[in-house]
Amino acid sequence: MSLADFYVPESAGGLPISLVRVEKAFGALSVLANFNLEVPAGQFLAVVGRSGGGKSTLMRLIAGLDAPSSGRVGIGGRKVERLHPSVRLLFQEARLVPWQTVVENVGIARGPNWQEKARGTLADVGLEGREGDWPSVLSGGQRQRVALARALVSEPQILLLDEPFGALDALTRIEMHRLLERIWTGRGFTTVLITHDVAEAVALADRVVVLREGAIALDIEIDLDRPRQELADPRAVDLQRQILDAV
């Protein structure tokens, strides 16, 4: 299967990511070795694997939070040297600033017309009318929505998600999946989702990569119709089984 086979949305407002012979070691411990990965512009990639399999390391490398020990991490054809301005990161925790209101959190980087833009993005994630609230009065799902709005407000071309829905209850998680899929379909940014939830990976991604002991154990296309109906499609169940076997 070649890279061109993967589904890429038409409005590709994304940037491609490429990792070439990347190695990352912490002291004597090698997390990634001779690692190669190409993510075309606009693709929704899910990276699945067990804890300690190198998922988070991979994401920190793409984000520019860490530098590879050797090899090259590139975004849009250019080497990642530090944080890329059009890459946004959604963490496992919402990481909202408690002393800033919801709208101030979304517009944390400020800039021209930040309030207007923040309000618009909050409406996109379904939080209209909550602009003036403090984060402490929000539920877990609402906080993660604010965090998503904060990531989207600068119109990123790459969105990195580090198990952002892991702490949410099952119903809220499904809501967040629908929301993310809808926004991604509309905007077409390249997305890398780190998760250990195989069902989540199949429900959202165009392509799933299974990471095991720092190497790619499986690289599979998820060619299901969008918008996806969770749990409904027997093909999805089959794909989930394949992925689980590889993890």
Q: Are strands 70-75 and 78-79 parallel, antiparallel or unpaired?
A: antiparallel
CB of residue 204 to other proteins, shortest distance in Å: 22
d(CA 45, CA 202): 10
Q: Which is nearer to other proteins, 21 or 95 (CB)?
A: 95
User: CA torsion sign, 120 to 91 to 102 to 170?
Assistant: positive
Q: Which of 8, 20, 25, 65 is the binder for other proteins (CB under 8 A)? A: 65
Q: How far apart are CA 122 and CA 34, in angstroms?
A: 41
Interface with other proteins, residue 129, by CB under 8 A = no
* Shortest reach from residue 6's CB to other proteins, in Å: 27
Does 108 interact with other proteins (rule: CB under 8 A)?
yes
Q: Give the torsion sign (CA, 99, 100, 106, 110).
A: negative
Q: Which stretch binds other proteins (CB under 8 A): 2-10, 15-23, 48-56, 91-99?
A: 91-99
Shortest Cβ distance from residue 154 to other proteins (Å)?
8
Question: Rule CB under 8 A: is residue 142 a binding residue for other proteins?
Answer: yes
DSSP 130-189: -TT--GGGS-HHHHHHHHHHHHHTT--SEEEEESTTTTS-HHHHHHHHHHHHHHHHHH--
Helical H segments across 52-131, by residue range:
55-63, 102-106, 114-124
The answer to whether residue 172 forms part of the interface with other proteins (CB under 8 A) is no
Secondary element (H or E) of residue 195:
strand 190-195
Q: Give the bridge partners for 193, in sequence order.
A: 46, 161
99 binds other proteins (CB under 8 A): yes
Tell whether residue 52 is a contact of other proteins (CB under 8 A): no
- Does residue 79 belong to the site contacting other proteins (CB under 8 A)? no
Pick from 72, 79, 110, 235 the residue near other proteins by CB under 8 A. 110
For residue 67, state whether it binds other proteins (rule: CB under 8 A).
no
- Residue closer to other proteins (CB basis): 14 or 141: 141
Among 52, 85, 126, 227, binds other proteins (CB under 8 A): 85
Q: In this structure, what token pair is assigned to residue 193?
A: 């989702």
Residues lying near other proteins in the complex (CB under 8 A): 63, 65, 83, 85, 88-89, 91, 93, 95, 97-101, 108-110, 134-140, 142, 150, 154
